[in-house]
Chain A
Amino acid sequence: MPETESGHPLLSLQNITRIFGDLVANGNVNLDLYAGEIVALLGENGAGKTTLMNILFGHYVADQGRVMVRHSSGILADLEPGAPQAALEAGIGMVHQHFTLAENLTGLENIVLGTESLFSYRLNRSKARAKLQELMQSSGLEVDLDQRVSRLAVGERQRVEILKALYRDARILVLDEPTAVLTPQESNNLFITLKLLAAKGMAIIFISHKMAEVLSSSDRVAVLRKGRIVADLPTSKCDRHQLAEVMVGHSVQAAERKPGYPAGEALVFAGVSAGDGREQIENVNLALCKGEIIGLAGVSGNGQSTLAKVVSGLEKPTAGTISLHGKPLKPNAVAAIRSGIARIPEDRHHDGIVGAMSVEENLVLEEIRKPAYQRFGLLRFNEIRKRAQEAIKACDIRCSGPLAVSRLLSGGNIQKIVLARTLDQQPDIVLAAQPSRGLDVSATADVHRRLQEARDRGAGVLLISEDLDELFQLSDRIAVIHRGHICEPVETEKLDKKQVGLMMAGHSAKGEQAA
């Protein structure tokens, strides 16, 4: 291992404190980072992980404390606060959760941006290209440099981001939730690359709230809770349950799998086709009963979003019929809501709420025509407020009150609004698309509990997910979607995860490659 590890940190965060209003985003955070190690920064949503990294990179200025970086000369010196340029020069590279790439520019242009003097008369592309070829070879990060970023897949974009840091000879690499947007396969490749980079002497911090990847891919774990470091220990000395408890602050009980009591077919697909291109679905036959959860497993982009749109009434099937309680379903979103279909959309920020509107407005959006909330076409504000206060209390929506602007809430709390709005209407059918994606442990447990409650009340739940743990924990039956085709659902007890994983990758149930 590199010589610097013997007690000389490459980076040292000392007593970092940052306060937003009443919220202590970071309180006296101390963290050292050594060359050649991979540190996982673990914490729930809102624990202050991203704030800490933004301070490190100069997007924010800490109220107190110092960021110190060891320069190539071996001296540990203060980093100028609030200056990304200084962080870059000190050898810190950051890969943000939401990529900072100009999409109309090529990968090469994004990487070279800002590395040459603005007033030089010529951009030296060939020199940049040569250096990048070498970097791509040594790190295994293959990217089509001359393709516009808008045409690159998510995984490739992330590789461009990492190359940006390597091109500037970064010695410290920070990745904010790097696997949130990746498929399991891509995540594995990413961690292989990170280990390679660390072996060459780079210091790496990655932010995560996924226990499995933290345990498998880091050398050391630092846990943040409510802005404070509550644990900092070698990964080899951690176990899953202990970490989860430290992270959440209390023990988390995952919902037990309870069997449902299916009764009578509710939502029936007969030969349904819709959509086009990659998101096409073809000849789907599926019957969802009352009181059961059908898990639809599949890697995203195999037609799930088209299926969700068809059920929500946002897209018209090109063939086949969908019926609800024996009556055909109108291809119309309003009709879908009124006939008792609750929709938990995949992109909750964009499709789940109206970001600019308040929590109370979002909570009653679907029921605004009911006499409970309007009289003679005028809103009954008191009733709406009362409903919002009840929901906030019952569902533990953390916000400043019914008038809080929804957009500013965390993903978990936004999901709670969506759940309260849709499930409190006692729907017959629940369409839940990737309902726990990007949520932390406790918010996920909450989503699972509410879906089970809806099922136990007699609703039919269609759970679209790519998380096998989630599917096996909740579903009564599991079907797999691959390239727009859905297989016959099978009782969960008769399946194992490996088998379903293979089917998601396109192998048929018996194990051979499907056509």
Chain B
Amino acid sequence: MEYIDILLSANFWAAAIRIATPLIFGVLGALVCERAGVLNLGIEGIFVVGAMCGWMAVWLGAGLWGGVLIAALAGAFFGLLHGILTVPLGLSQHVSGLGITMFATSVSYFAYRTALPDVSSPPRIEAFQPLDIPVLSELPFIGPALFQQTPMTFLALALVLLVSYMLYRTPLGLAIRAVGDNPSAVEAQGLPVFALRIGAIMAGSALMALGGAFLTMSAFDAFFFGMINGRGWICIALVVFASWRPGKALLGALLFGAFDAFQIRLQNEVGAVIPSQVFLMIPYLLSIVALVLVARKADYPRALLQPYFRGQR
């Protein structure tokens, strides 16, 4: 069976992890924001900003890791904007988030056009190359599937552990979980509600921007219009799928990556009979189904979407 062959090829699993990487960054970022009680629909635009800033910084000579840092800072800046609008001002998180997405996207395109007014195809940079880890990457099957990824993929996996440790093992993580559940409880214990929320949004947005940066600096080597293509929105759904847990978020991102990699290969096999759009639809369809199955029992942060005002019940 050709389907089994696809699942058994190392190449397929390598592609699944590669496709999952930006989603891992994005879903972790969205998770941190929502754990603090704020939905960040700016994610799609912050992806664009990260992709644009990281790539542009490298093109201007900042070095690859410099690009990563600049992408994260740019993301944090837009996070700060979203934070100010939704936390002390208490505006609608949906409206503010969508506004951030539109604003961040257009600013990125504008900057790109201003910096490169006359080019028809964007200049390419020297992107991250797959790491050759001695021994591990030479293992049969597992080697090419898991250990021939770029450094940013390993960074994403490390961040899953880090975010998970932070949320469940540190006082800061406890405070973030509490502020997303009942800000009054946080205030009554003498902690600053606004600072915690804004900080979490900034950190989460920085993570989202890394997802964008991965696309221009690891997956591809240039910035294109429309390259984010809904990846941010997928992350918002994945957070619910993951019930706001980092481990499950990783699983969700990998599942989606696998669906996507599978459909590309399926297109080659039976593409002549079924239109390719049907295959493009599959991962999204499956994520909706997964969402319906999982999200009904999801234990969402109780103060999600609720602005906090002092002295009000």
Assuming the A-B contacts A60-B311, A94-B188, are A122 and B170 also in contact, with contact meaning beta carbons closer than 8 angstroms in the complex? yes
Closest residue of B by beta carbon distance from A96: B188
B172 interface hit (Cβ, 8 Å): yes
B residues near A60, Cβ cutoff 8 Å: 311
B177 interface hit (Cβ, 8 Å): yes
In angstroms, Cα B313 to Cα A96, docked, is 11
Q: Mark A147-186, 1 if CB is under 8 A from B, else 0.
A: 0000000000000000010000000000000000000000
How many whole Å from B190's CB to the nearest CB in chain A?
Answer: 4
A104 interface hit (Cβ, 8 Å): yes
Select the residue from A85, A102, A105, A121 with max chain B CB neighbours within 10 A: A102
In angstroms, Cα B287 to Cα A484, docked, is 44
In angstroms, Cα B185 to Cα A116, docked, is 15
A137 interface hit (Cβ, 8 Å): no
B residues near A94, Cβ cutoff 8 Å: 188
In angstroms, Cα B57 to Cα A356, docked, is 51
B140 interface hit (Cβ, 8 Å): no
How many whole Å from B202's CB to the nearest CB in chain A?
Answer: 15
Select the residue from B169, B187, B190, B302 with max chain A CB neighbours within 10 A: B190
Contact check: which of A87, A104, A123 meets B301 at CB < 8 Å? Answer: A104
- Check A85 against B313 for contact (C-beta < 8 Å): no
Q: Mark A58-92, 1 if CB is under 8 A from B, else 0.
A: 01100000000000000000000001110111000
How many whole Å from A149's CB to the nearest CB in chain B?
Answer: 9
In angstroms, Cα B191 to Cα A60, docked, is 16
In angstroms, Cα B34 to Cα A280, docked, is 37
B5 interface hit (Cβ, 8 Å): no
How many whole Å from B301's CB to the nearest CB in chain A?
Answer: 7
A residues near B301, Cβ cutoff 8 Å: 104
A45 interface hit (Cβ, 8 Å): no
In angstroms, Cα B187 to Cα A89, docked, is 14
Assuming the A-B contacts A59-B310, A105-B181, are A113 and B170 also in contact, with contact meaning beta carbons closer than 8 angstroms in the complex? no
Closest residue of A by beta carbon distance from B179: A102
B residues near A122, Cβ cutoff 8 Å: 169-170
8 Å CB interface, B163-185 against A: 169-175, 177-178, 181-182, 184-185
- Check A100 against B182 for contact (C-beta < 8 Å): yes
In angstroms, Cα B182 to Cα A147, docked, is 17
A475 interface hit (Cβ, 8 Å): no
Closest residue of A by beta carbon distance from B187: A84
In angstroms, Cα B186 to Cα A415, docked, is 32
- Check B185 against A120 for contact (C-beta < 8 Å): no
- Check A102 against B188 for contact (C-beta < 8 Å): no
Assuming the A-B contacts A118-B172, A123-B171, are A102 and B311 also in contact, with contact meaning beta carbons closer than 8 angstroms in the complex? no
In angstroms, Cα B177 to Cα A84, docked, is 20
How many whole Å from A111's CB to the nearest CB in chain B?
Answer: 9
B2 interface hit (Cβ, 8 Å): no
- Check B184 against A100 for contact (C-beta < 8 Å): yes
Contact check: which of B175, B310, B313 meets A113 at CB < 8 Å? Answer: B175
In angstroms, Cα B301 to Cα A89, docked, is 29
How many whole Å from A163's CB to the nearest CB in chain B?
Answer: 13
A143 interface hit (Cβ, 8 Å): no
8 Å CB interface, A122-157 against B: 122-123
Assuming the A-B contacts A59-B311, A104-B181, are A123 and B188 also in contact, with contact meaning beta carbons closer than 8 angstroms in the complex? no
A241 interface hit (Cβ, 8 Å): no
Assuming the A-B contacts A114-B175, A118-B171, are A54 and B182 also in contact, with contact meaning beta carbons closer than 8 angstroms in the complex? no
- Check A102 against B185 for contact (C-beta < 8 Å): yes
Closest residue of A by beta carbon distance from B303: A102
- Check A119 against B178 for contact (C-beta < 8 Å): no
- Check B311 against A54 for contact (C-beta < 8 Å): yes
Assuming the A-B contacts A119-B172, A121-B170, are A104 and B177 also in contact, with contact meaning beta carbons closer than 8 angstroms in the complex? yes
A296 interface hit (Cβ, 8 Å): no
B277 interface hit (Cβ, 8 Å): no
- Check B189 against A114 for contact (C-beta < 8 Å): yes
In angstroms, Cα B32 to Cα A285, docked, is 55
B299 interface hit (Cβ, 8 Å): yes
In angstroms, Cα B311 to Cα A54, docked, is 9
B residues near A100, Cβ cutoff 8 Å: 182, 184-185, 187-188
Closest residue of B by beta carbon distance from A124: B171
A98 interface hit (Cβ, 8 Å): yes
How many whole Å from A173's CB to the nearest CB in chain B?
Answer: 14
- Check B169 against A123 for contact (C-beta < 8 Å): yes
- Check A88 against B178 for contact (C-beta < 8 Å): no
A103 interface hit (Cβ, 8 Å): yes
- Check B185 against A118 for contact (C-beta < 8 Å): no
How many whole Å from B86's CB to the nearest CB in chain A?
Answer: 20
How many whole Å from B298's CB to the nearest CB in chain A?
Answer: 11
B residues near A89, Cβ cutoff 8 Å: 190
In angstroms, Cα B169 to Cα A122, docked, is 6
Closest residue of B by beta carbon distance from A118: B172
A253 interface hit (Cβ, 8 Å): no
- Check A120 against B178 for contact (C-beta < 8 Å): no
A residues near B174, Cβ cutoff 8 Å: 105, 109, 112-113, 123
Contact check: which of B169, B178, B299, B311 meets A110 at CB < 8 Å? Answer: B178
A115 interface hit (Cβ, 8 Å): yes
A residues near B172, Cβ cutoff 8 Å: 118-119
A residues near B188, Cβ cutoff 8 Å: 84, 94, 96, 100
Assuming the A-B contacts A54-B311, A120-B171, A123-B174, are A114 and B186 also in contact, with contact meaning beta carbons closer than 8 angstroms in the complex? yes
In angstroms, Cα B189 to Cα A59, docked, is 12
A residues near B178, Cβ cutoff 8 Å: 102, 105, 109-110, 113
- Check A102 against B181 for contact (C-beta < 8 Å): yes
Assuming the A-B contacts A116-B171, A123-B169, are A88 and B182 also in contact, with contact meaning beta carbons closer than 8 angstroms in the complex? no
How many whole Å from A16's CB to the nearest CB in chain B?
Answer: 16
8 Å CB interface, A43-66 against B: 54, 59-60
In angstroms, Cα B189 to Cα A112, docked, is 9
Closest residue of B by beta carbon distance from A111: B189
B residues near A112, Cβ cutoff 8 Å: 171, 174
A residues near B177, Cβ cutoff 8 Å: 102, 104-105, 109
In angstroms, Cα B301 to Cα A117, docked, is 23
In angstroms, Cα B190 to Cα A115, docked, is 9
Closest residue of A by beta carbon distance from B182: A102
How many whole Å from B302's CB to the nearest CB in chain A?
Answer: 6
How many whole Å from B184's CB to the nearest CB in chain A?
Answer: 4
A101 interface hit (Cβ, 8 Å): yes
Name 17 A/B residue pairs within 8 A (Cβ), A-sorted.
Answer: A84-B188, A85-B190, A87-B190, A88-B190, A101-B182, A102-B182, A102-B302, A103-B181, A103-B302, A104-B177, A105-B178, A110-B185, A113-B175, A113-B178, A114-B190, A118-B171, A122-B170
Instruction: Given A84-B187, A104-B302, A164-B189, output 5 extra A-B contacts at Cβ < 8 Å.
Output: A98-B313, A105-B178, A114-B175, A119-B172, A123-B171
Residues of A within 8 A of B (CB): 54, 59-60, 83-85, 87-89, 94, 96, 98, 100-105, 109-110, 112-123, 164
Minimum-distance CB pairs A-B, first 4: A114-B189, A85-B190, A102-B181, A100-B188
